[in-house]
Amino acid sequence: MPLALQAALRQSLLMGTLAEIEAAADALPPEQKHELLLFLAVRLRAEGAGLPQPRNLSPEQMAAWIAEDEADMSRFPA
């Protein structure tokens, strides 16, 4: 793990609130955010954390999300 990420994690341990930790994570460059995500996933797995329960989504919610995703994708060139 890069030293900068280790330092950010140590600093986050000294922070008192989730909001402070989230703000510190927001300040990381994308590559370090990815490393942080992988780090947290490994820790959760080691602690035996289960997967979240599946959501019960209505067909209308699913259709709305799909439409939103397709609209977002239309912004990117093919």
* Of 6-15, 17-26, 61-70, the least confident: 6-15
Per-residue pLDDT, 75? 84
**How far, in Å, CA of 22 to CA of 36, rounded?**
12
Q: In the chain, what are the domain boundaries?
A: 1-51
With a pLDDT cut of 70, the percent of the chain lying above it is: 88
pLDDT top residue among 7 and 43: 43
Query: Which is higher by pLDDT, 2 or 51?
Result: 51
